[in-house]
């Protein structure tokens, strides 16, 4: 990262995500069956792989990762230690209940999350954050195992082809400015229309605009006036040709753009789960 890259980012945030990035799981702790033609056909109809071909997650490994994520969060955010401890204490202890909770989390069931939070009187934002961080190493494996079996060029939907989540970042290609969307939960990238909202069905160009900041012209923030969503974007044409761009880190080091967008009244749609469920309702 260059000095320009980090000048807007609090150092502890980069350190936090560097340590979170070290949390991994052995591939055998997530089992995925073969992608047979029937599954591919279902996926091609618009059903993300997490829903038409769900993996099997080792339950105890999930809770071990959750404990490690909690330790890191308390280290970097001691002011939230009480909330983290309350959440850990509220988790089920019995094997059957733990297995059921992991299955619900994997389905990204918003109703289950709301019920768990309200019944236990827990801070919803922190619960969602901890669950997402815990899911990430498992879903990274899931995406990596499936990627060669999927024709991502044909997807072009506003939700992730693997996990069904919202995109939280996008890229404009150096060559022709084609746009791809990026899901930070499973780290999948897929093509999407250059004009159109990544969160709602709006395609009227008059409903979109973008802004930049003078110090970092490589970044754009596209906003939609219909749903009030926004998405951060990197324009590869404004970066050195030999620079390796990792969208995970581009997202982390542009937190200042999230703050600017939210100050203007736009919403971080990544917090809404699941995006795929929204699509079904529409």
C-alpha–C-alpha distance, residues 226 and 116, integer Å: 31
Extended beta strands in the chain, E state: 30-31, 56-57, 169-172, 179-183, 188-192, 208-213, 216-224, 230-235
Predicted model pTM: 0.89
Q: What SS3 class is residue 108?
A: coil
Q: Tally Cβ neighbours within 10 Å of residue 102.
A: 23
What pLDDT does 37 receive?
A: 95
Please count the residues of the chain.
Answer: 282
Determine the pLDDT at residue 1: 34
Residue 5 has pLDDT above 50, yes or no: no
With beta carbons less than 8 A apart as the criterion, state whether 187 and 199 touch. no
Domains of the chain: 3-149 (no CATH), 152-281 (3.90.1670.10)
Which DSSP symbol is given to 153?
Answer: G
Three-state DSSP class for residue 267 = strand
pLDDT at 10: 62
Distance of alpha carbon 159 from alpha carbon 167, whole angstroms = 7
Residues 6 or more apart from 75 whose CB is under 8 A from it?
Answer: 19
Contacts of 30 (CB under 8 A, 6+ apart): 55, 56, 57, 58, 138, 141, 142, 145
Res 221: pLDDT: 94
> Is the per-residue pLDDT at 200 higher than 60?
yes
């Amino acid at each position: 990262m260059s000095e320009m890259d980090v000048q807007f980012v609090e150092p502890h945030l980069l350190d936090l995500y560097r340590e979170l990035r070290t949390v991994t799981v052995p591939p055998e702790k997530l089992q995925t069956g073969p992608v047979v033609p029937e599954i591919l056909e279902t996926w091609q109809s618009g059903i993300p792989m997490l829903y038409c071909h769900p993996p099997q997650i080792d339950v105890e490994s999930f809770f071990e990762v959750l404990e490690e994520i909690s330790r890191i969060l308390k280290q970097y955010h001691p002011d939230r230690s009480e909330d983290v401890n309350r959440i850990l204490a509220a988790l089920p202890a019995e094997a059957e209940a733990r297995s059921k909770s992991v299955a619900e989390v994997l389905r990204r069931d918003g109703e289950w999350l709301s019920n768990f939070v309200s019944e236990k009187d827990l801070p919803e934002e922190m619960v969602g954050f901890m669950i997402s961080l815990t899911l990430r190493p498992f879903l990274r494996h899931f995406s990596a195992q499936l990627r060669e079996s999927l024709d991502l060029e044909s997807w072009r939907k506003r939700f992730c082809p693997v996990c069904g989540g919202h995109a939280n970042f996008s890229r404009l290609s150096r060559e022709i400015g084609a746009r791809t969307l990026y899901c930070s939960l499973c780290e999948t990238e897929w093509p999407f229309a250059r004009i159109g909202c990544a969160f709602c069905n709006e395609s009227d160009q008059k409903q979109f605009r973008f802004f930049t900041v003078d110090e970092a012209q490589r970044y754009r923030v596209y906003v939609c006036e219909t749903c009030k969503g926004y998405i951060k974007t990197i324009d590869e044409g404004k970066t050195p040709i030999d620079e390796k761009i990792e969208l995970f880190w581009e997202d982390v080091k542009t937190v200042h753009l999230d703050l600017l967008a939210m100050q203007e009244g736009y919403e971080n749609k990544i917090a809404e789960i699941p995006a795929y469920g929204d699509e079904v309702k529409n």
